[in-house]
Amino acid sequence: MTLSETERIELIRHRKEKAYSFQKEAVFLFDSGLYNTAVNRIYYGMYHIVSALALKDNFTTAKHMQLIGWFNREYVKTKKVDHLAGRYFMRAFEMRSKGDYDDFTQYTESEVKELLQNMNHLLDIISNLL
């Protein structure tokens, strides 16, 4: 898919807005005690903000692990972002996968609270880059 510069800018803005919308959903779900579902929204908020950054750099993929790899290679290893940013994103991916697909996974309030804080940090870091 080839985008015009205007379309690319609009899509970046849309993905950023989507990330912040998922952040609000995650907080609501967390406050409601729906921890596994909050983890899902936390991960997808991170995914969309990183996807916006990738699009800014003209990188696109539909594969989650490729996006994580790209982010680590282009931003974490080059020290454009704090090394914790890559860990936050990978941890959220792992927790989301386990929570969505493994039977009997139940996250605790403290686990999800930490992940939510990590999400907030990652959104701040990447928003500054956008």
Which one, of 23, 52, 37, lies nearest residue 117 by Cα? Answer: 23
- For the cut 90, the answer to whether the pLDDT of residue 120 exceeds it is yes
Residue range 5-24, pLDDT digits in tens: 999 999 999 999 999 999 99
Domain that holds residue 108: 5-129
Going by pLDDT thresholds of 50, 70 and 90, the confidence category of residue 1 is low
Q: What is the rounded distance in angstroms from the CA atom of residue 41 to the CA atom of residue 54? A: 20
Place of tokens 């015009």: 4
- pTM for the model: 0.94
Average pLDDT, the chain: 96
Of 7, 8, 11, whose CA–CA distance to 19 is shortest? 11
User: What CATH number did the domain enclosing 18 receive?
Assistant: 1.20.120.330
| Alpha helices for the chain (secondary structure H) | 5-31, 35-56, 64-71, 83-101, 109-129
Quote the CA–CA distance of 119 and 94 in Å, as a whole number: 14
Place 39 in a pLDDT band, splitting at 50, 70 and 90: very high
CA distance 113 to 67: 24
If one counts the domains in the chain, the total is 1
pLDDT score, position 33? 97
Cα distance between residue 129 and residue 82, in whole Å: 12
